[in-house]
Structure 1
Amino acid sequence: MKKNSTIEKATAEDVIGIASLLSWAFGFSKVRSREYIANIGLETLRLIRGEDGRPVVCAGLLQTAHVFHRKPVKAANIVHVAIAPEWRGKGLAVPFVDALCDEAKSNGAAIATLFASTRPVYRKAGFELAGHEIVYEAATAALPSASRLAFDRVELGDPRLAVAYGAKMLAESGLLERAAAHWNELRRAPTDALAAYLAEGEAAYLILDMGNEARLEVRDWFAASPEAALGLLSFLARFRSVYPAVRWHGAPQDDLVAAMPDKGWRLAHQEEWLLRVLDPAAALRQRGYHVDAARLALRIGEAPPLEIDIRAGKAEVGEAAGASGAAFSVQPTAFAQLFTGFRSAAKLAQYGLVSGDSDDIRRCDQLFAGPPPWVAEHF
Structure 2
Amino acid sequence: MSDVEFTAPSDTQRRDYTTLVIRCFGHPVPDMAMSARHAVTRVAVRDGRVIAGGLGWAVPQFFGGRPVPAACLGVGCVAPEERGTRLAAELMSARLDAVRAINTAAVATIWTTSNRYARHLGWQAPTEVTAHQVATDDLRASYTSGNGYDIVHATPVTAAATQAQHRLAAAWNGPVCRPGWWWEWKHTHLDLISYQFHRHDSTPHGLLSLAFDQHSQRGSVAVVHEFWAADTSAAHAMLAFLGSHHSRCDTVVFRRGVLPHHRLLLHGLHRYRVDLTCAPPWMLRLLDPVAAVSQRGWPHNHELDVVLALPDHPHQQGDRYRLEVAGGTAVLTPTEDPAHLCLDARQMAIWYAGGYRSVTTARFDGLHTDDPPLLAAVLAITADHEPWLPDLF
Output the CA distance in 2 between the equivalents of 1:245 and 1:109: 40
Match of 2:297, SS state, is: coil
Map of 1:20 onto structure 2: 19
Q: Which runs of 5+ in 1 are unaligned?
A: none
Q: Deviations over 1:206-254 (max 9, x none)?
A: 1111233441011112111211111111111121111111122111234
Output the CA distance in 1 between the equivalents of 2:118 and 2:95: 13
Which one is further off, 101-110 or 292-301?
101-110
Q: For residue 375 of structure 1, report the CA deviation from its aligned partner.
A: 0.9
Map of 2:112 onto structure 1: 116
Distance 1:69 1:260, change over 3 A: farther
Q: For residue 129 of structure 1, report the CA deviation from its aligned partner.
A: 1.9
Write out aligned runs for 1:53-132 (5 A): 53-106=48-101, 107-132=103-128
Aligned AA (1:84): A
Query: For 1:241, which of 236, 247, 263 is the aligned residue?
Result: 247
Distance 1:356 1:179, change over 3 A: farther
Output the CA distance in 1 between the equivalents of 2:62 and 2:78: 31
Map of 2:311 onto structure 1: 301
C-alpha RMSD of matched pairs (Å): 2.4
Aligned AA (1:151): I
Map of 2:325 onto structure 1: 310
Q: Deviations over 1:254-310 (max 9, x none)?
A: 446544434243323343211111101111112223443222222211633222222
TM-score by length of structure 1 reads 0.88
Match of 2:75, SS state, is: strand
Output the CA distance in 1 between the equivalents of 2:243 and 2:357: 38
- Asked if the contact 1:9–1:43 (Cα under 8 Å) also holds between the matched residues in 2, the reply is no
Aligned AA (1:252): H
Which one is further off, 175-184 or 210-219?
175-184
Give the number of aligned pairs: 370
Give aligned-pair identity as a percent: 21
Distance 1:214 1:89, change over 3 A: farther
TM-score by length of structure 2 reads 0.85
Output the CA distance in 2 between the equivalents of 1:368 and 1:126: 20
Q: After TM superposition, where is structure 1 displaced by more than 6 Å over at least 4 residues in a row? A: none
Map of 2:277 onto structure 1: 268
Write out aligned runs for 1:61-210 (5 A): 61-106=56-101, 107-143=103-139, 144-148=142-146, 149-180=149-180, 182-191=182-191, 194-200=192-198, 201=202, 202-210=204-212
Asked whether 1:349 is paired with 2:363, we answer yes
Map of 2:315 onto structure 1: none
Output the CA distance in 1 between the equivalents of 2:223 and 2:392: 14
Aligned AA (2:127): G
Which one is further off, 62-71 or 284-293?
284-293
Q: Deviations over 1:334-373 (max 9, x none)?
A: 2212221223573333443444533421221221213431
Distance 1:181 1:332, change over 3 A: same
Q: Which runs of 5+ in 2 are unaligned?
A: 313-317
Write out aligned runs for 1:367-378 (5 A): 367-378=381-392
